[in-house]
Amino acid sequence: MPHLHRAHPRTGPIAPLAGYTVVIASDRRRHRLADLLESVGARTVGVQAARSVAKPDPAGLRAATTQCLAAPCQELVVSSALGLRAWLAAAGRWGLAERLVDRFRSARLLARDAAAADVLRALGLRDIYTTAGQTTEELLRFLLAQRPLAGCRVVVQTDRLSLPEVCAAVRRAGAEVVEVPTYTAAPPAELFSLRRLCDQVIRRQVDALALVGAPVAGQLREQADRQRRLPALVQALRTDVLCAGLGPLTAAPLAGVEPLLADRPFVEDLADALLARLPSRALTITAAGHLLELRGHAVVLDGRLVPVQAGPLAVLRALARRPGQVLSSADIRAAVPDRAGVDDHAVEMAVSRLRQALSGADLVQTIVKRGYRLAR
C-alpha cells in the first residue's frame, strides 16, 4: 500500500464536495464542468475520452441538408464559423447553396459568437442574435425558455459531441429538430487515457464518473470490452462509483448502468445533480465518542477534514461498515474491491498509517490474534 504522509486536519468551513474525486470524461482534456465542481470542493480528473474532429461525414451532411431544405425553418442555430463555412462549401458542390441560404432568410438567426455571426452577414443576412456566454448550449437554453416549441422547426449546426443531447431536449419540448453535424466523432488521440480511466473506475480510485456526450460513453464501453473488463466496469458503476451523464443519449451506450442524469442536458445542471447526490453517499458513524464521515479520499472527523490515502481509508471503510465487529486481515481484504491479493503485512501497515492520519483519535483497536475493530 502507498506510503502515507502525516496529514494535518483542515479547519474552517468544509466545502460540500471536499474529499470527493470526480473524473470528467469528455471531448476535451479539461472541461468547464471541472471549474463548477472544484468551486464546491471536489477534486477533478479530466480525461479526453473522444474527439470532435472538424471534418463532417459527407453522406450525413448531405442527408441533413436535404432535410433542412424540405420545409421552412423558424430557428437557425450556428455553432461555429468553421462548421458553417464547411456546410456552405459542401452545399455549393451539390448545387444547393443558394437554396440553403434562402432557407436561412426565413429563420431567426442565432449565432454562437461574433465569428459565426460574421459568416451569416457575409451572406447578406441581418438581425443575428448572439449571447454573452458564447456557447451553443446557451442559445438552445434561450430557445427552450423563450417560446412554445410545439410545431417549431429548428435547424442546429452542431460541432461537438455533447450537442445532440441538448438537441434531444429541444425535440422533447415539441420542436422538430434538424441536426447538421459538421464534425466527426473519433477516438482520443491516445488510448492510454481510456485504459487508465477504466482502471481508475474498476479500482474504485474515483468517487464519480461524469460523462459528457454519448460518444464518450461509447468509447469507454468499447475500451473496457477490448480489455475484457466490461463486466467489472459495469459492476463498479452500479455500486461504488457514481455514474452521471448529461441525459438519456449519454446513458444509452452503458447498458446495465442506471446513471444519475441531469434535470436538463446542461453542464450546470449536471454539476447540480452531482452536488446533490455525492454527499448522500458518505458513510457516517460514531466511534469512541467521535463523529466520522467517510468521504471518497478524506474523513471528516469531528468537523475537521482529514485527507487519508486510499489504502488506509479502505481499511477504515471496511471497519465502519461493521462497527464494533472484529475483522481479520482476510475479512478486510475481502471487503475491499481489487485488494484480494494484498497480504496481512500490508493490511497491518495500512492500519498503522490510518492511526497516524487520525492522530488524537484512538479509533482502531487491535484484538490480539483476531484482527481489528473500531473503538466503541
Considering the domain architecture, whether residues 42 and 160 belong to the same structural domain is answered as: no
φ/ψ of 111, rounded to 5, equals: -115, 140
Task: With CA atoms as reference, report the closest residue to 45 among 257, 228, 199.
Answer: 199
HSE-CB of 336 using CA atoms within 13 angstroms: 28
Considering the domain architecture, whether residues 179 and 215 belong to the same structural domain is answered as: no
Query: Which of 158, 185, 212 is the last residue before a domain boundary?
Result: 185
Considering the domain architecture, whether residues 110 and 150 belong to the same structural domain is answered as: yes
Considering the domain architecture, whether residues 232 and 297 belong to the same structural domain is answered as: no
Query: Which of 280, 300, 332 is the last residue before a domain boundary?
Result: 280
- Total domain count, the chain: 3
On whether residue 2 sits in a domain, the answer given is no
> Which three cell numbers mark 132?
454573452
The contacts of residue 231 (CB under 8 Å, 6+ apart) are none
User: Assign residue 338 a region: left if phi > 0, alpha if psi is -120 to 50, beta otherwise?
Assistant: left
The contacts of residue 12 (CB under 8 Å, 6+ apart) are none
* CA separation for the pair 121, 127 (Å, rounded): 9
CATH code of the domain containing 102: 3.40.50.10090
Considering the domain architecture, whether residues 65 and 39 belong to the same structural domain is answered as: no
On whether residue 171 sits in a domain, the answer given is yes
User: 46 lies in which domain range?
Assistant: 21-50+187-280
Query: Which of 185, 209, 235 is the last residue before a domain boundary?
Result: 185
In this prediction the pTM is: 0.89
- Encode pLDDT of 187-232 as tens digits: 998 899 999 999 999 999 999 999 999 999 999 999 999 999 999 9
Considering the domain architecture, whether residues 267 and 289 belong to the same structural domain is answered as: no
Exposed, middle or buried by CB within 10 Å (0-12, 13-18, 19+), for 224? buried
* CA separation for the pair 258, 248 (Å, rounded): 10
Considering the domain architecture, whether residues 42 and 157 belong to the same structural domain is answered as: no
CATH code of the domain containing 292: 1.10.10.10
On whether residue 14 sits in a domain, the answer given is no
Considering the domain architecture, whether residues 232 and 149 belong to the same structural domain is answered as: no
Task: Show pLDDT as tens, one digit a residue, over the chain (376 residues).
Answer: 223 233 344 556 899 999 999 999 999 999 999 999 999 999 999 999 999 999 999 999 999 999 999 999 999 999 999 999 999 999 999 999 999 999 999 999 999 999 999 999 999 999 999 988 899 999 999 999 987 899 999 999 999 999 999 999 999 999 999 999 999 999 998 899 999 999 999 999 999 999 999 999 999 999 999 999 999 999 999 999 999 999 999 999 999 999 999 999 999 999 999 999 999 999 999 988 899 999 999 999 999 999 998 889 989 999 999 988 999 988 888 877 665 557 788 888 888 999 999 887 788 888 988 999 998 8
Considering the domain architecture, whether residues 295 and 239 belong to the same structural domain is answered as: no
* CA separation for the pair 48, 331 (Å, rounded): 38
Considering the domain architecture, whether residues 294 and 367 belong to the same structural domain is answered as: yes
User: Assign residue 223 a region: left if phi > 0, alpha if psi is -120 to 50, beta otherwise?
Assistant: alpha
From residue 309, alpha-carbon distances to 19, 153, 295, 306, 330 in Å are: 11, 53, 11, 10, 20
- Encode pLDDT of 141-178 as tens digits: 999 998 789 999 999 999 999 999 999 999 999 999 99
On whether residue 12 sits in a domain, the answer given is no
